[in-house]
Every structure is written in structure tokens, then in C-alpha cells.
Amino acid sequence: MRIIILTIMFLYTCFAQEIVLNEKQISYLKNKKVITMCVDPDWEPFEKINKDGLHEGISADIIKLISTKLDIKIELIPTNDWDESIDFSKQKKCDILSFLNETPKRKEWLVFTEPIFTDSNVLVGRSEKKYIEDISKVNLSIALPRNTAMSERFAKDFPNLVIIPTSSEDEAFKLVEEQKADLTLRSMIIAAYTIKKNGLFNLKIIGEPKGYENNLRIGVRLDEPILKDILNEAIKTITQKDIDEIINNYVTIVIEKTTTFTIALWILAVLSFVIFIILLWNYMLNLKVKKEIKKNEEQQQLLIEQKRKAEIGELLGNISHQWKNGLSQISSLNLEMILMYKLNQNINDNKEFYQRLEDTESSIKFMVETMNTFLGYYKEESDYSKFKVEENIRQVKKLIDLEIKKSNLNINIISNFLLEITANKNQWLHVWLNLISNTIKASKLQNIKNPQINITINEKNITYEDNCGGFKAEVLEDIRKHKQKGLGLKMSLKIVEKSNYFMNIENYKLGVKFTIFKK
């Protein structure tokens, strides 16, 4: 059974490949004996006339196949170029043109067989050119060999293009390479072959106009249509396998057919991968940022505590001096009372003694307030609360009252607005304590006899000005770049920023000016 099936398939194949001609066609071939042919002598790899005057290329091999199938000689009529081949065809010096597209102009003297080869036409330009989606929307020059089907069609279909006629395809390529033309149009096979053969790697395919494929046929003299019919019978027997084998002798073309769905899947996969990498990177970066923020906050808190401990030592010194004055006054009054008691003096009539008692009571109250303010500063507070800025500043004044008096410092608070801040109250005490302490130190270094601070509280900002010389230019630059060495000012800036405020620092008139304002 298998043998019978194989035999039937073999016989079918044999008969299918056999050319069936009618009596008129057979008679024509017997009388014709030789078919004359003109070709394009310079159209590699499709065809050319070599140095020995022989026809070579894809077209030549297909013509040889047709010649063998018809058992008739097809004789080459040599020409110098394609223009001469066209002229010879018009003058009937050759019966057929081997490999060309059908056009209305050519149909004036030719009839055409069925296509024997189909190839896409592509736009070729320099490597720096962008891909052209729609050639009808660009104003460019294009080099095309004259008297070709595509030069005719492009001249008609694309009036926006400047067509530069050439005598050969190599000349067209050269014009593009030398930037004398923007584009040329070539079959995909010829473009790939020419670029590789001549090493024109500064050229590339930059477009593929749809509907302009090369459907290459054999052109036959208009007065011999019977020859066209005979050639068509031979063309029917040529398989795609025959064509592929011929093409592979000259060029190797790998065609990758990618559907829109496949492209979409690839794009989706790439985008998904990119998004995953971005999300993973952001997640890792956020973890690192949070870790660094926490680390910085811990370091800042440690620095604040270290600075606070140093300030507490200074405050204790100030308070001890203030308490010594008050205790000395109380002790003096107590000794005076003891002496008056021993001398049996009547204190009821002693008005000066009563004034001393009132002064002593004031001293005791001041001592208590100072201690309460100190304890409030020393107390740890993590929660935010609303407090009055002016009251916050006055608490600091009480803490360093003795130091203020010793330095002969005058602090003038101008409150144009009852400004309240929601923040860590004790940390803001540190801000004012640092600013005032720095002014006192500067006044001593600059030997300022009458140091003065003007603090103005407005609705939107707080300004702090002194008259103690200001910062040196390089120090002020370091402060603006957050490179200052002083811990106190650095911590003050951090506290202000933590409360959503900014602090601007500048030299102003005779001293320095700090402006604290809301972000």
C-alpha cells in the first residue's frame, strides 16, 4: 500500500512539473529557435553582465531554468547599461527583458508574464537618519536610477520628494553616502548585498513603504503575446524551493516574522521587568534612607544632650551666683534681726527694716522662679506643645540673668504679634540660649561696651539682631553650607528645621541678623 501511494505521489509530481503547450505554441518555438534577451548589466545580485560577456545573478539562473524547461535557447544581447537595454527593447532588437516591474509606461511596448520573483523595496539613508514612517510627509531628496518602475511611481506618488536620476544603483548609493542625496530606494536583497559587499556601514535601512514591492516579471515584445503565454507555462512549474535555492547562492536572508501580539508580549515583559527593578530599587533605597534618617536623628539627639549637659553646667554656675546674692541678703537680714532682738530694738518703727524684708521676699521669689525655669529646661520633653515665643525667650533671660547683667547686655523684645509655636518648648529654649550666649561671647571678644540685642516678633517671622561685629565671611559661608564647627548653632538650626521653620543668617549693620520664618 505504501509503495502504491509513493508511486502515485511521484507520478503526480512529474506530471505537475511538465509544461503543457498547445500546437500553436509548440510550432512557435520550433520556428523561433532562439529567444533574444536584454538585461540590466549592472544590477547585482539580481543580474549583471560579467567581464566575459555572460549573464550572471538570480535572474540569470531563473532564465536558465526556464530555458531548460522549454528546451529553447535564450541568447543574451549585450548592452552597456539599462538605458541601452530599454532602447534595444523598444527597437525590437531583443524579444524579452529579463527582470523588471510592470508599469503603464512600459506597457506601451511590452506585455508582462506572471511575477517570477517578489521582493520588498526599502528606503536606505545614512546611519544618523531617523526611521521614516510616512514618506509622503517628508521633504527630502531621493536618488533613483532613471527609467525604472520605482522612479516612475515615486515621481507620480510623492511630489514632496526631489528625485535625483542616476545611471546605476551604485551611483545612487554613492550619492547618499556622500550626502548629496538624502535617500535611495532599493530592494531589500540588493540593499543588504550592496551594503555588505561595499562596506557601506554608514548606511542603513530607514523605512519600508507599503505597496511598493518589486513584483519582477519578464517583459515580452508587444507584438509577440504568444511568447508571454509560453513563458507563463514555464513559470507555473517553478516552485518556491527552486527560487530559494537560487537566492541562497547569492545572499543569505533570514526573515523573522514577529506578530504584533508577540511584540506586545515582549514589550510587556520588558516593562514589567523594568518596573520590578525600579520598585525593588525604591524599596531598598527607602529602607536605607529610613535607616540613615533614624541614625542621624539618634546622633542629633545625642549631640543635643551633650550640648544640654554642657549648658546645664554653665546654668548651674549662673544660678549659684544668683542664689548666693539672695542668700547673702537673707543672711544679712537675719543677722540684723538677731542684733535688734539682742539690743531690744523695736522693729515696728523701723521702716527701712520692712523694706529689707520686702526685698528679701523678692529675692526668694526670684530664686524660686529661676530654679523652676532651670528644672523646666532640664526636664526631658518629647511631645510638642503650643507656647508663646516671647515667654520662651523671657524664660531664657531668667536662666542667664546674672551673665546678662555682668556683660552689660541690653535685650530689647519687640512683640508686634502674640506669636505661638507648636513644637518642643524646651528645645526652643536651647535656641534662644545659644543665640544670646553667642552674642555675649562675641561682645567680650570684640570688646563691645554696650552690647545690645533686638528681638522682633512678627506674625510670620522672628528677627534677632545684635551689634557685636557679626561673622567673618568664611565662617558665614561654612554656616550656609552646613560646615560650621560650632555645635550650638548647628543644633539650633536642626531644632528650628525640625519644627518646620527656616533660619536665615546674615551679617547686618553692626552685627549679625537671624531671621526665623515658617516653611
pLDDT in tens, 43-73: 888 899 999 999 999 999 999 999 999 999 9
The predicted pLDDT at position 371 comes to: 65
pLDDT higher than threshold 60 for residue 8: no
| CB neighbours of residue 300 within 10 Å | 15
Q: What is the DSSP string of 115-147?
A: -SEEE-EEEEEETTSPP-S-GGG---EEEEETT
pLDDT category of residue 293 using cuts at 50, 70 and 90: confident
pLDDT in tens, 244-284: 888 888 875 443 334 455 567 778 888 888 888 888 888 88
Helix axes 260-342, 351-378, angle to 10 degrees: 160
The predicted pLDDT at position 2 comes to: 45
pLDDT higher than threshold 90 for residue 109: yes
Instruction: Report the pLDDT averaged over residues 104-112.
Output: 93
Which residues on neighbouring strands pair with residue 169, listed in sequence order? none
Contact, 369 vs 394, CB < 8 A? no
The predicted pLDDT at position 415 comes to: 92
Q: Give the chain's mean pLDDT.
A: 81
The predicted pLDDT at position 228 comes to: 93
pLDDT higher than threshold 50 for residue 373: yes
Instruction: Report the pLDDT averaged over residues 503-515.
Output: 91
Taken in order 161, 167, 169, 174, is the CA torsion positive or negative? negative
C-alpha cell read off for 295:
541614625
pLDDT higher than threshold 90 for residue 508: no
| pTM of the entire predicted model | 0.42
The predicted pLDDT at position 261 comes to: 58
The predicted pLDDT at position 347 comes to: 62
pLDDT in tens, 29-44: 899 889 999 999 988 8
| CB neighbours of residue 44 within 10 Å | 19
Torsion of CA 137, 140, 145, 149, to 10 degrees: 10
Contact, 503 vs 516, CB < 8 A? yes
Rounded CA gap, 46 and 58, in Å?
5
303 or 243: which carries more pLDDT confidence? 243
The predicted pLDDT at position 483 comes to: 74
pLDDT higher than threshold 80 for residue 194: no
336 or 385: which carries more pLDDT confidence? 385
364 or 176: which carries more pLDDT confidence? 176
The predicted pLDDT at position 6 comes to: 41
Contact, 363 vs 329, CB < 8 A? yes
The predicted pLDDT at position 285 comes to: 84
Rounded CA gap, 382 and 388, in Å?
18
Least confident of 316-325, 341-350, 463-472, 487-496: 316-325
pLDDT category of residue 478 using cuts at 50, 70 and 90: confident
The closest of 407, 117, 92, 54 to 221, measured between CA atoms, is: 92
The predicted pLDDT at position 428 comes to: 87
290 or 77: which carries more pLDDT confidence? 77
Residue in the block written with cell 515667654: 391
- The arrangement of strands across the sheet holding 47-49 comes to 42-43, 47-49, 55-56
The predicted pLDDT at position 351 comes to: 66
C-alpha cell read off for 179:
550626502
Question: What value, to the nearest 5°, has the Cα angle with vertex 161 and ends 155 and 163?
Answer: 60
Beta strands 452-457 and 410-415, pairing class? parallel
Least confident of 219-223, 380-384, 476-480: 380-384
The predicted pLDDT at position 325 comes to: 54
pLDDT category of residue 108 using cuts at 50, 70 and 90: very high
pLDDT category of residue 382 using cuts at 50, 70 and 90: low
The closest of 138, 103, 92, 99 to 115, measured between CA atoms, is: 99
pLDDT in tens, 124-149: 998 888 888 888 889 999 999 888 88
The closest of 185, 190, 189 to 206, measured between CA atoms, is: 185
Residue 16 CB partners (closer than 8 Å, separation 6+): 237
